[in-house]
Amino acid sequence: MNNYHKGIIEIIERNIGKTKEIIPVGHHELGRHFVYRIEDSKNKQYILKIYGKENRWCKEVNALELLNGVILCPEVINKGILENGVEWILQEKISGVILEEIWDHLSNNNKIYIIEEIGEILGSIHSSYKYDYYGYCEKLEYRVDDKKGFISYRKSKDKKIINNILKQELPHKEFLKKTYSAMIKYYRYLNTNEYSCLCHHDFSARNIMVNRKENMWKVTGVIDFEHSYPNDPYIDFTDLYQTIFIDEKPLEYYFLRGYTKYMKLDRNHIEKVRYYLLNKGLFICSWTYDSIRDYYNEGMRLLKWLI
């Protein structure tokens, strides 16, 4: 216990009491957030997240409070701000393991079952609340109140991506420039939303918990809502395409079958998903070549799959 920050100890003592173990989880080496799994004297488990970046606490708390009872997600036990201004949230730990860790070991039938469950969950999230703006309204990252403003925002962000690419000596620069030219042709499909939806913005197997029940792995909940705010719902499709459908395209059908139980697909949903995938691939390639080469290669793989 002596190795733990005084503020963390105070949070634990005040909200949990006696503990059996406190285990760091997540990627503390990145210095972004500090996450701990805590087990109390009655074997109940919690997750304590100390935020290393601003404007994450309010998004996660807001999303979890809105979605509690809508989908399986952690219950917020308490939240607050330390004396030094650092934000924290204490939540129940959802049972199970991270889907990403066991995905490759699943049977095809189990993958179909889970991917349809995932589609239903995402459809439930997107259908639960409707907004007349895009973005988050507290400590603004951005907020626009109409379709024209939304598209202008997307264009300005994309300009920054391509400018960053052009400044570097990248081996695939010409390919990336052609990809950018292909991507911007999809802007005309982005103005058909009647409203925005609450989006997760990191909806992938690494943020989905599963448990084995009756010889079948099933979803027990969704975690990590720190990026959540109202946006175009199709932006939430990108991580699943990048990490699963790129190799297992037939599973897309079952995902959409689950999703459309709650959400009707936009007439231009294919074009919208394609735009967001191109955007994601270009963004990855715009900053990772010198720092995270493997991730750069993932971005290139996604773009070559699309082009």
Residue pLDDT, tens place only, 71-80: 999 999 999 8
Q: What is the per-residue pLDDT for 140? A: 42
Work out the average pLDDT over 200-213.
Answer: 96
Which residue, 148, 179, 127, is CA-closest to 286? 179
User: Token pair 């918990």 is at which residue?
Assistant: 209
What are the C-alpha distances in Å from 62 to residues 22, 73, 202, 227, 283? Answer: 26, 13, 16, 11, 27
Q: Is 188 or 33 the better-scoring residue by pLDDT?
A: 188
Work out the average pLDDT over 271-293.
Answer: 97
Q: Is 297 or 61 the better-scoring residue by pLDDT?
A: 297
Taking 70 as the threshold, does the pLDDT of residue 56 lie above it? no
Work out the average pLDDT over 145-163.
Answer: 86
Work out the average pLDDT over 147-160.
Answer: 88
Q: Quickly state the pLDDT bin for 37 (edges 50, 70, 90).
A: very high
Least confident of 91-105, 145-159, 207-221, 285-299: 145-159
Share of the chain above pLDDT 90, in %: 70
| Domain residue ranges of the chain, discontinuous segments joined by + | 6-92, 97-306
State the fold for domain 97-306.
Aminoglycoside 3'-phosphotransferase; Chain: A, domain 2 (3.90.1200)
Cα distance between residue 288 and residue 284, in whole Å = 6
Q: Quickly state the pLDDT bin for 101 (edges 50, 70, 90).
A: very high
Instruction: Give the model confidence (pLDDT) of 242-268 as tens digits.
Output: 999 999 999 999 999 999 999 999 999
Q: Quickly state the pLDDT bin for 279 (edges 50, 70, 90).
A: very high
Q: Which two tokens stand for residue 234?
A: 């199709």
Backbone angles phi, psi at 237, to 5 degrees: -80, -20
With beta carbons less than 8 A apart as the criterion, state whether 10 and 55 touch: no
Q: What is the per-residue pLDDT for 191? A: 81
State the fold for domain 6-92.
Phosphorylase Kinase; domain 1 (3.30.200)
Taking 70 as the threshold, does the pLDDT of residue 120 lie above it? yes
Which residue, 75, 68, 55, is CA-closest to 129? 68
User: Which amino acid type is present at position 8?
Assistant: I
Of 30-44, 55-69, 169-183, give the range with the top mean pLDDT: 169-183
Taking 80 as the threshold, does the pLDDT of residue 169 lie above it? yes
Q: What is the per-residue pLDDT for 269? A: 96
User: Which amino acid type is present at position 100?
Assistant: E
Q: What is the per-residue pLDDT for 178? A: 98
With beta carbons less than 8 A apart as the criterion, state whether 176 and 165 touch: yes
- What pTM, to 2 d.p., does this model score? 0.91
Q: What is the per-residue pLDDT for 155? A: 95
Taking 80 as the threshold, does the pLDDT of residue 217 lie above it? yes
Which residue, 1, 28, 23, is CA-closest to 13? 1
Work out the average pLDDT over 116-137.
Answer: 91
Number of other CB atoms surrounding residue 301 within 10 Å: 15
